[in-house]
Amino acid sequence: MSRLSIIETGEEHMNRCRFAVVFVCCSLLQLLAGVQGAVVVSLPQNDYTVEENSGISVCFRVTGTPNSSSIELLFHAVGGTATEGVDYTLSSNHTLELPFPLMTGTTIASEQCFSVFQLCEDDIPENNESFTISVSTPNTPSVFHQNNFTVTIIDNDRVDVSFTRGRYTVSEGEAVEICAETGASSERDFVELSITTITGTAINVDFYVSGVTFNQEDNQFRKCMTLTAVDDILPEQKEFFRIRVSSSDNLVNIQHSTVKIYITDNDPVRFSLAQSVYVVEEGETARVCLEAAENDLPLIRFHLIVLDLGGNATGGDYAVDSEQYHAVGISSSSESHEICFEVAANDDAVSEGTEIETFQLLLSTDVSWVMLDVPRETTVDIVILDNDVVEVEFEQSVYFKTEGVYPYLSLCLTVSGGVDHHPPPSLTINTNSRTAVGASDYEPSNHWFELPESSYCHQLRIFDDPQPEPEEFFDVCVTTESPLIHISTECVQVRIVDNDTPKVFWERLQYTVTEGQGQVAVCAKLRGTLGNEAQVRITATDITAIDSYDYIIKEEQQVFVFRPLSPKRQCRYVDVVADELMEKTEVLRLSLSYTNSSDVVLNISNPHTTVRIQDTSSGYGCAEGGILLNSGPSIPGDKENTSGLVELCNSRGKWESVCDTEWSLNDAATICRQAGFHRPAGEGVMSLESLQPAAATFTCTQTDTNLANCLGEKPVNDTCRHLLVACDGENPVTSSKSTPSPATEEFPTAETGSRLVRPAPNNSSQFPIMGVVVGVFSALLLVGVVTVVGCGLRSCTVEEEEIKVSDNSQ
């Protein structure tokens, strides 16, 4: 191998390798304190690596207090293996322009980059060369931290060698030519290459070398080897060996030193998987089959060994018995040329970490001439579809915590369903500030659980501050990245009840009222002392009850007004509307709200209560104290629903018959007033009622408006008949505007013609007794109509047969 030396004059070389100074300036001006006239010149980088036929900018940093607007730099080579004028050209000097204008005493920091040298390109493969350049400032007083730098030249003239192909396959009995070649090299007349074989699973008896050639064409060198695979009669696994190319020339670059040659055997019996991936749901079975490549096979016997390689599915998720499969009797007379076994996916109640679980089975054989794959084995993937989801939810939808009590609030999660995730999934509990502020009102948290755990409770600290504040709250949320964990409610509220301010709360969490009672009182209490007036508003939310149809809250009943000296317990009234619809219990929610003013701070500690309205129109119950004039088919002649058998609603919400024993005119007048009429009628009827009424006496006065208010002692072992009352039918609500009306409500019930009267309040209007009522006597016959001629407060006289009805109750 020879090397051609080229000698050129300086002028010729400069024509080939022109030098161009490229000025790149990037400066950073800093105002620093320093000594005027003294500067420091430094090199941020003192080693450069550059390819042939290229250049690079060299940077200089100047700091200090200059006394001129420029600095002249001189460059000269101080040694190295590279030759100036042949391998590179060098700029002799360069002027650094400093920032202008200058202020006296100004300290600067400037960095400037420009081209100092240019590398030349040759065609000669060489080892890496280098040279060193020294820098000086002859005209400026300066100090160098580093006054030279080194440049290493990367030669691009090496000879590359590679195989013409990356892989070769040859069948038994066939030959293949394997070549390694170089790229073009104009200055090389010879390249040394060596090519050798390296055995692998194939050994020397499986192949032989039939010839080696070496040639050069257009400055490109190629060395080839001819290999022949020996054709034997033994069934074997797929065999291979390698060929290596090398060179002792250090300027030869071997890109890929070895190549693999595979020998395809033409003797084995081959089986292949019907499919490489089997998908099976939990509780089902996958049938894995191997199919023979040939249809006409001799009788063969061998073991198929199944080895579990595992995966993210565990042993409890599936069942497969390794090494029990023994394939026999595969021949041309067989109906099937396949070998099958089953893998069962267990149906558990445990949620795994991903939507699918996988594991892998390695199939192999103990017979060398039965081929499954390379080498004598293959793998099959089993995918199990999981059908279990973990349900996660907070134990409470809202948490309340009062300042000053035990400082920790226990936040607990309910986790249902087993968990066996790989890797284990996690649940993260974090806090989000709302009106409550983290680190001031509570301790921010970012706690996580790794499933499964024995408990999913987190202790959250609530601070007790001395500042009076309204009710504050913040959110606590739970998150997860696992797709098989379902969180029903991601966030809940934690409400902090302040113990430093007055509080308003509902007296009861639930009120129950029956249609017919008219209205229900809902009460709130104030705890603490107010310095000024505070108004707390009531807001109704329909749940199953409907505003204006089932209840009415008048405007004046929608606000609690608490003052410094006012009662700390106040009540407002919800009017209950009686309808004819058959309904079950209707529910509405009442909420307290308060908008803080600048001078009054008030907390709502228990903001919600519910009102449950029990229906009476469909037999679901009655309002205690209500009366019913039952004018059913047993009472003839009453088309105005002004008369009927008297029934009274007891404390259990059940209708109870009223006994006719010891009743008085005042009792009858009270019933008519409660029914909404002026007075008893001038005529009455009697009926044969076989009911067994509740024996009770009444002691009503002339001013009573509710029969239940004058209930007397209940006699023992008393037998009586059902009381019947007839009123005059004139309703004071419609007959006269000047006559006060009783505070009663009425509507037809589901029973034909019955008249239901709700109890009147104690302050209901009073009606004078202007007539008499006739009741059912203890007679066994219907006597017909009796006409009243006149009556007094204690007795009345009837025209027909001079029947005298006396009041002996007073």
Element at 11 (helix H, strand E): helix 10-16
Q: For residues 563-602, b (16+ Cβ closer than 10 Å) or e, as one string?
A: eeeeeeebebebebbbeeeebeebbbebebebeeeeebbb
pTM: 0.27
Provide CATH code, domain 622-810: 3.10.250.10
Q: How far apart are CA 141 and CA 765, in angstroms?
A: 118
Long-range contacts of 751-755 (CB under 8 A, 24+ apart): 751/630, 751/632, 752/632, 752/633, 753/631, 753/632, 753/638, 753/641, 753/644, 754/628, 754/629, 754/630, 754/631, 754/632, 754/641, 754/644, 755/628, 755/629, 755/630, 755/631, 755/641, 755/644, 755/675
Q: How far apart are CA 353 and CA 418, in angstroms?
A: 11
Contacts of 790 (CB under 8 A, 6+ apart): 796, 797
Task: Label each residue of 650-699 as H, E or C.
Answer: CCCCCEEEEECCCCCHHHHHHHHHHHCCCCECCEECCCCCCCCCECCCEC
User: What is the residue-wise DSSP string for 91-117?
Assistant: --EEEEEPPSSPPTT-BEEEEEEEEEE
Fold for the domain defined by 390-497? Immunoglobulin-like (2.60.40)
Q: 187: closest CA among 249, 248, 124?
A: 124
Domain definitions of the chain by residue range? 10-154, 159-264, 273-293+303-385, 390-497, 503-614, 622-810
Q: What does the pLDDT read at residue 696? A: 65
Contacts of 437 (CB under 8 A, 6+ apart): none
What is the phi-psi region of residue 516: left when phi exceeds 0, alpha when psi lies from -120 to 50, beta otherwise? left
Q: For residues 435-463, b (16+ Cβ closer than 10 Å) or e, as one string?
A: ebeeeebbeebeeebebbeeebebebebe
Q: What does the pLDDT read at residue 373? A: 60
**CATH homologous superfamily for the domain 273-293+303-385:** CalX-beta domain (2.60.40.2030)
Task: Label each residue of 462-485 as H, E or C.
Answer: ECCCCCCCCCEEEEEEEECCCCCE
10-154 and 390-497, same CATH topology: yes
Class for the domain spanning 10-154 = mainly beta
- Strand 350-351, strand 370-371: pairing: unpaired
Low-confidence ranges of the chain (pLDDT < 50): 1-36, 328-335, 618-620, 632-639, 683-692, 716, 732-810
Percent above pLDDT 70 for the chain: 67
**Residues pairing with 460 in the sheet:** 409
Q: What does the pLDDT read at residue 560? A: 94
User: What is the residue-wise DSSP string for 746-806?
Assistant: EEE-SSTT-EEEPPPPTTPPP----S------S-SS----EEEEEE-SSEEEESGGG-EEE
Among the CATH numbers 1.10.760.10, 3.90.1010.10, 3.50.50.60, 2.60.40.2030, which is that of 159-264? 2.60.40.2030
Q: How far apart are CA 284 and CA 281, in angstroms?
A: 6
Class for the domain spanning 503-614 = mainly beta
Q: What does the pLDDT read at residue 751? A: 34
Q: How far apart are CA 144 and CA 163, in angstroms?
A: 53
Q: What does the pLDDT read at residue 478? A: 93
Rg (CA), the chain: 54
Element at 10 (helix H, strand E): helix 10-16
**N residues, the chain:** 810
Q: What are phi and psi for residue 800, nearest 5 degrees?
A: -70, 125
